């Protein structure tokens, strides 16, 4: 591309000015396509889990289960739902400071806390399901093997989730390191 073509292209790009309202709308996290997909998934998950919470007593014979099993399942479901809501709120509010590096560092700290609690709540929720469904079962060898197989699957899913969280945390750490490299290179100039 010639220099004159580049200049004319640069001049023509400024012809379509955006209003402040359009610019504000573009920069809101709520308009990001990934956030919209997460919100849709969260709403579907909330509806399904709330339906399960209201019908488990009849459908899964909650009246025949001990109190501790019903309490464990209900508490696990509520914790899981609250964790998802807190995670969504944390995700949609990533920048709080005027300093971008400090904002990323604060966001990293929140993501680390969120990852810990998310994995813990997932473990507790999975345990509550196991407690509920096994509370009145008389175990045979086959049922023990089925429980072991289910536990292995849940542990693998938690490990996979942990790896996803670690990857996200690693990317945020890299962004902070990139800020440090930029600070070092600008100080040397």
DSSP 61: T
Closest-CA residue to 135 (of 51, 77, 61, 56): 61
Mean pLDDT of 153-175: 91
**What would the pLDDT profile of 12-30 be if each residue is shown by its tens digit?**
665 566 666 765 665 565 6
pLDDT in tens, 30-84: 666 777 888 888 899 889 988 988 888 888 888 889 999 999 999 999 999 899 8
């Amino acid at each position: 591309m010639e220099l004159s073509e580049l200049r004319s292209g640069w001049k023509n790009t400024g012809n379509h000015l955006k209003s402040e309202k359009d610019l504000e709308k573009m920069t809101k996290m709520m308009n990001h396509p990934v956030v919209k997909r997460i919100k849709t998934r969260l709403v579907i998950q909330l509806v399904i889990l709330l339906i399960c919470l209201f019908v488990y007593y009849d459908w899964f014979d909650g009246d025949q289960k001990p109190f501790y099993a019903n309490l464990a399942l209900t508490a696990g479901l509520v914790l899981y739902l609250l964790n998802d809501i807190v995670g969504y709120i944390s995700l949609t509010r990533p920048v709080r400071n005027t300093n971008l590096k400090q904002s990323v560092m604060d966001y990293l700290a929140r993501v680390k806390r969120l990852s810990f609690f998310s994995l813990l709540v997932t473990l507790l929720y999975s345990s509550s399901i196991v407690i509920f469904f096994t509370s009145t079962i008389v175990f045979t060898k086959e049922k023990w093997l089925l429980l072991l197989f289910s536990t292995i699957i849940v542990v693998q899913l938690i490990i996979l989730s942990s790896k996803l969280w670690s990857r996200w945390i690693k990317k945020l750490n890299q962004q902070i390191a990139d800020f440090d490299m930029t600070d070092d290179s600008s100080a040397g100039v």
